[in-house]
A and B are shown apart, each in its own frame.
Chain A
């Protein structure tokens, strides 16, 4: 046979040209504009005393340093950032992993087995609109005041995005792929691992990413239930003590920690889903 088609691969597969300095710096520069404007507005607003209840950026920065390494205020919160961060991370990842461990198999079954769908789907759909905050009192009764309650709320927060995206991924597999698999000799249960799972992976990954994001979202509520450590606890305690600069520090740390953990998930996703044009970025 004559081999003629030697057309180059589309750009996604070919080597990228070296970028100019500006091309490389542009995304970073653009992404910093809005935070910088916000910071400037904050500075102006507090210097002109439009409000006396919000601390100045400098005070917050100072507090952050003290919170992280101590040496400025030297009170109960000084140099405790790592303790609270680790406590929160433990609950976020623990609750998230447990949610994934429960939601993935249930989602796969609901997506594939009609009987399981009829059994579980109506129940789960009724439970779904109940916000995590509404579970707080019940969770405190069931799991007591403390870390277990926080863990349970994080689990609930992460559960639904993972579940729903898994179901969606499993149900939206192109039917042609089942036909292709069966005419190639892959039939029955083998199709689950060879077709359903890989085809649903992008969707499952989106679910995991949303779930982890929500886990960080819920952690403050979860840690309102009287836990001694955790970023949510710091924010609630600081609020009670009217230490607004510490509240803002807690918020910033949650934002950054959540962002970093999302980037890690995205990186893993890009590696695992190199075949998917939607995830290759």
Chain B
């Protein structure tokens, strides 16, 4: 998947967490390069380092060795160009929907009228205009996650990093948000790195599926998907890919047990 000018380039990154009485090898040497506009899913069992890798790209964690680059520049700290969508939303509970989305533009000191226009646009994009003045505790999980997505987009993120964003939602809401996310992605040309443990979700969404395995966390295989969009989860092609990927995911489970 080597592209001449990747937006994200992870080079020989390793990560160890030193705890009191043990060292956890979260990531063995990992290389990953992502092109602009790609939709990449990281998938694997828990402990495979997929969230750690995402957090290193975000700048929340520093690699033990190696480096993550964005447009060739080393990632040293979180930055608005790489927006993060958390599984548990991490909205500011004291701010309304509108104020949550305005948080980033305000923090960057944009003029008031620009902020207002931007916020209006993204509230509408995620369909929450009627709830602009509601507080997070008054929203459903799906609505909260829409706010979290709008908040990142309103801040001009080029890369959206999503850490099991739909994991806590019910099946119907999840499907709807998957559709909406794809629509936004196709319209805006964003780059998305999406962590999930659901094979179906990964196949439905991504251009490329990076399968990771635990003990220590590493990339097992990198699978480009040639499936045309929109994708039909009940088509034979979809199920064939699901079967192949399922086998890959389970093979290292077997290895681990052996």
Contacts and interface: CB of A to CB of B under 8 A. Distances in A.
Contact of A275 (B86, B128, B135, B179): B135
A180 B86 contact: yes
Contacts of A182: 77-78
A179 B180 CA distance: 25
Interface of A: 1-7, 9-10, 12-13, 174, 176-177, 179-187, 190, 194-195, 198-199, 201, 273-277
Contacts of B164: none
A201 B94 contact: yes
Contacts of B20: none
A194 B94 CA distance: 10
A197 to B, nearest CB: 10
A184 B135 contact: no
A275 B95 contact: yes
Contacts of B96: 275
A183 B92 contact: no
Given A1-B183, A4-B176, A183-B79, A176 B137 contact: no
A252 to B, nearest CB: 39
A195 B92 contact: yes
Contacts of A9: 131, 134, 138-139
Interface string B68-89: 0000000001111011101010
Nearest to B128: A5
A190 B107 contact: yes
Interface in B1-57: none
B127 A276 contact: no
Contact of B108 (A3, A185, A195, A277): A185
B219 interface: no
9 contacts: A2-B127, A9-B139, A180-B86, A180-B91, A181-B103, A183-B80, A184-B155, A187-B77, A275-B136
B206 to A, nearest CB: 20
A180 B82 CA distance: 11
A185 B90 contact: no
B162 interface: no
B126 interface: yes
Contacts of A2: 127, 179-180
Nearest to B161: A183
B86 A5 contact: no
Given A5-B127, A201-B94, A275 B78 contact: no
